[in-house]
Amino acid sequence: MEHVSFNFQILPILIGLFGFIILLLLRERIPRGSFLRSLWLSGLVLFGLYFLLMTASTISRVYHWNNYESGVFETIEQKQKAMKRVVNDTGTQLAFIISAIFSLFVSFFVLIVSLIFNYIKIKKSSSLKENLT
């Protein structure tokens, strides 16, 4: 039977983790209520969600591989069919692309919502200043 390697999923996990950590370390340098803060929050969501999705995908694949290894099969055909399911899992093979696209959509939504809240906050504070003068 073929050997299944999980090394290809380590790089996306590390990219997500290091991106998340770097953005967390830059937290204090970004002024509050600015466009950069909204962009920072969006990036944090992007890398954090990407890390979580890729980690979950890898854990799922390891779980299925362990089930295959510990499984009791009556015939060689059943074992070959189970191995095909483990190896030819397209969702797991393309998880790094699917996770990136999903994380990008969610982070874009977070960016839009954050920009709207910042705009409302700026309008509210400017109208309050006009009322005071």
Domain chopping of the chain, boundaries: 8-132
Half-sphere exposure of 111 (CA within 13 A, CB side): 14
- Residues 45-51 have a mean pLDDT of 95
Tens digits of residue pLDDT in 55-106: 988 887 777 777 777 777 777 787 777 777 777 767 777 888 999 999 999 9
Residues in the chain: 133
103 closest CA partner among 49, 22, 35, 60: 49
Q: Which pTM does this prediction carry? A: 0.79
The predicted pLDDT at position 102 comes to: 95
